Structure 1
Amino acid sequence: MASDTDTSSYNDTLGENLRESTGLVTIVYYLIGSVGILGNLLVIVVILNFRAMRSKNVNVLVLNQSFVDMLASVLVVAETHIDTSTYLAGVWGELVCRFWLNTVPLWSLLMASTINILVITLERYVAVVHPLGYRNYNEHAKRRLTAVAMASAWVAGFAFNMATTSSTSAVRQHRCYSMVFFASDTWKKVAGVAAFLFEFLIPLAICVVCYARIVHTLGQKVAPQTGPIVASASLQSQGSTVSRQTKAKMIRNVHKTFGIVVVCAIVLNTGNHCLFLAFNFGYPLDFTGALYHVSVIGAFANCCVNPFIYALKYKMFQQGLKRLFCRYKPAAENTSVYTIHTDCRLQARQDTPHV
């Protein structure tokens, strides 16, 4: 490791984790951040506006996911032009370097987002694979457990990044150097492996295994029933069958939606995490080059892609959107706003999936 006074040893690493972007990359960062802010804000408004969504634990977790991703999107915009030449001195300079210039808040939120996806997956896994235990579990206890899980995602994201990034960043000659001051090369490799495992591989691998089990379980539940069809089946029995089929379709829709969320998280995050792991093992990564920026764009894009997935695939969210925009639909001639508002509520209630 370079000595504390010889800054010439740090020149090659200056800015490695302090993003410096120009031109097209800057535009892309601003676009991702803006879309992420607006998209996740819309998800938040829909869930808060639609009581049927708020009553489901999975949607409470989606609400938390959207808060995390929206804040991350805000930081994508705010940190796009970090001034690494800022004159830093004293305790304040160290704090600015260790907790802002090295983009710890942003990467902490990105990790919290991944962990929250894991929490959603585990909630869905228990609900499908162990339905009796899930239904019989006290609702208040479920809510408390959900709150703890959401808080854990935030705490884990910030705690891990502060331990690995803030502790290895410091001010030298009034400049901030990030991810430089490791105790040894071994510790640098350990940090790289830990980041790869806990921020990426382990959470998403668990998600894949859980969804494989969910798909298998749902396949068994909706397997076609054999046996003679009773011609004199009552209308009530037919209605019950249709209701079960509708509910099964809605359940499959929920899990297909969040399965797509997991796949997108894997695809968009793989490049950046693999590059960072390689860097910690000595790969001469150019943090101002195209390869790195493409990987970062992928990681940042994960903050804004989920609202599009919900809008295209999640039936309950689509009904929430319908209710939200129907509420503000202009009144037709000779039709009161109250009547339209009531009709919208009735339509949304009829269309609400119970999963």
Structure 2
Amino acid sequence: METTIQTNISSEVTLTDPSTDIVLGAIYGIIGCLGILGNLLVCTVFLMRRKVFSSTTNLLILNQSTIDLADSIFYLVLRFGPQLSEQGDNIWGELACRIWFSEYVIWSLFVASTVNLLFVSLERYFAICHAVKHRKIFTTRRANIGRVVVWIIGFSYQSYWAALHRLEDGKCYAHWPTPTIQKIGGVFFFACEYLIPLIIMSFSYANIVIMLRRKSKRDNKEVNTFQRAKRNVTVTLCVVFLSYSVCWTPTEIAYLLYNLGGDYDFESVLHRIFTALVLGNMCVNPIIYVFKYERFQVELRRIFCKHNRIGDPSLGGGSTVRTVAGGGHNSDGEGPSTVQ
């Protein structure tokens, strides 16, 4: 997964054209800025409408945007902020190498993002396929605990990457003890951070799609607002999962092949394109919410549009907002007081 400098990089470094570097640098900067603006917007809407977005699903979506926001900020600071390469071969230089130049923080947040997406997929799977179990397992308290656990897992898991790095002659490198350990580690980390989560998420959403199709064939009558909201948030998160798969698959496979002994140029244009895809995953989710998540669209209009009256046709097709019986949070992506 990691794309920083490795010890086994071929001695023949491909020199890219300066204009290519400028274009890719501009793309990286745009992606980072979009990641900050988009995820900040999502966090703002969710926090300003806490009662609406208080379900377990939305708490995890908020956590996802918080992680991506932090990742976007750290990425821009690392790429375009002050450089710390003049620390020298001392304890502070060693710490800068292990924590900063190794990109430990950025990749820890990427792992946390993957774990959070895994939690979201499991939550949706139980909500659609095992509703009774879902109500027992996925409580608000457990969702909040899960949000914290995601961050802990990301930084704990990725600590191996900081441990591998060393500062030599003012340059920061990752040193695997032996090629054999690198191969074993490459396969292990590929499975843990990509393959296993991808299999679980694919299983979850495949079963969700099958279940929704069965229900649509069985229920010929008109779908009510609650069922519509339930399906909409699920479809939205399916799209989020698909975008994750597209953005991460190329770089994960390339890094696995590299750890297994294959030649891979970390200075090539192809690698930089793979990196751009990974970074793009930080900013794509807010775009998906804007175009797919109906509840988010409604609340976004209510916050930023002048006409924010309940029943305004521009805020939800002209239908008024009704209260969910019981006043408690529902488990299908909508808050305690409103359903679209």
Same fold (TM over 0.5): yes
Measured after TM superposition, the shift of residue 319 of structure 1 is 1.0
Give the match's secondary structure for 2:261.
coil
Contact 2:84 2:96 (8 Å CA) reproduced: no
Measured after TM superposition, the shift of residue 323 of structure 1 is 1.1
Residue equivalent to 2:148? 151
Deviations 1:44-63 (A, max 9, x none): 11111123432211011000
Stretches of structure 1 lacking an aligned partner (at least 5 in a row): 1-8, 227-240, 330-339
Provide closer, same or farther for how the CA distance between residues 223 and 245 of structure 1 changes in structure 2, counting only shifts above 3 A: farther
2:95 matched to 1:99? no
Measured after TM superposition, the shift of residue 291 of structure 1 is 1.1
Measured after TM superposition, the shift of residue 13 of structure 1 is 7.4
Residue equivalent to 2:3? none
Provide closer, same or farther for how the CA distance between residues 211 and 341 of structure 1 changes in structure 2, counting only shifts above 3 A: closer
Residue equivalent to 2:226? 247
Cα distance in 2 between the residues matched to 1:276 and 1:97: 21
Structure number with the higher helix fraction is 1
**More deviation, 80-89/41-50:** 80-89
Residue equivalent to 2:172? 176
Measured after TM superposition, the shift of residue 11 of structure 1 is 8.4
Residue equivalent to 2:327? none
Measured after TM superposition, the shift of residue 81 of structure 1 is 4.4
Contact 1:111 1:199 (8 Å CA) reproduced: yes
Residue equivalent to 2:42? 43
Measured after TM superposition, the shift of residue 85 of structure 1 is 4.9
Contact 2:165 2:172 (8 Å CA) reproduced: yes
Measured after TM superposition, the shift of residue 133 of structure 1 is 2.5
Residue equivalent to 1:120? 120
**Percentage of identical aligned residues:** 32
Provide closer, same or farther for how the CA distance between residues 194 and 344 of structure 1 changes in structure 2, counting only shifts above 3 A: farther
Measured after TM superposition, the shift of residue 207 of structure 1 is 0.7
Provide closer, same or farther for how the CA distance between residues 129 and 30 of structure 1 changes in structure 2, counting only shifts above 3 A: same
Measured after TM superposition, the shift of residue 167 of structure 1 is 1.2
Asked which structure has the greater RCO (Cα within 8 Å, sep 6+), the reply is 2
Cα distance in 2 between the residues matched to 1:341 and 1:252: 25
Provide closer, same or farther for how the CA distance between residues 280 and 13 of structure 1 changes in structure 2, counting only shifts above 3 A: farther
Cα distance in 1 between the residues matched to 2:299 and 2:191: 36
2:99 matched to 1:89? no
Deviations 1:36-81 (A, max 9, x none): 0000000011111123432211011000000000111112211224
Deviations 1:211-251 (A, max 9, x none): 1111122222232458xxxxxxxxxxxxxx65x53322222
Give the match's secondary structure for 1:55.
coil
The letter for the 2-side match of 1:192 is G
Cα distance in 2 between the residues matched to 1:33 and 1:255: 27
The letter for the 1-side match of 2:170 is H
Give the match's secondary structure for 2:139.
helix
Residue equivalent to 2:264? 285
Contact 1:36 1:69 (8 Å CA) reproduced: yes
Aligned residues: 311
CA RMSD in angstroms comes to 2.9
Q: Which of 139, 161, 183 is the aligned partner of 2:158?
A: 161
Provide closer, same or farther for how the CA distance between residues 161 and 273 of structure 1 changes in structure 2, counting only shifts above 3 A: same
**TM-score normalized with structure 2 length:** 0.83
Stretches of structure 2 lacking an aligned partner (at least 5 in a row): 1-6, 15-19, 323-337
Larger Rg: 1
Cα distance in 2 between the residues matched to 1:312 and 1:211: 20
Contact 1:109 1:154 (8 Å CA) reproduced: yes
Give the match's secondary structure for 2:46.
helix
Cα distance in 1 between the residues matched to 2:293 and 2:112: 22
The letter for the 2-side match of 1:134 is H
Give the match's secondary structure for 2:167.
strand
Cα distance in 2 between the residues matched to 1:79 and 1:316: 35
Provide closer, same or farther for how the CA distance between residues 74 and 13 of structure 1 changes in structure 2, counting only shifts above 3 A: farther
The letter for the 2-side match of 1:249 is R
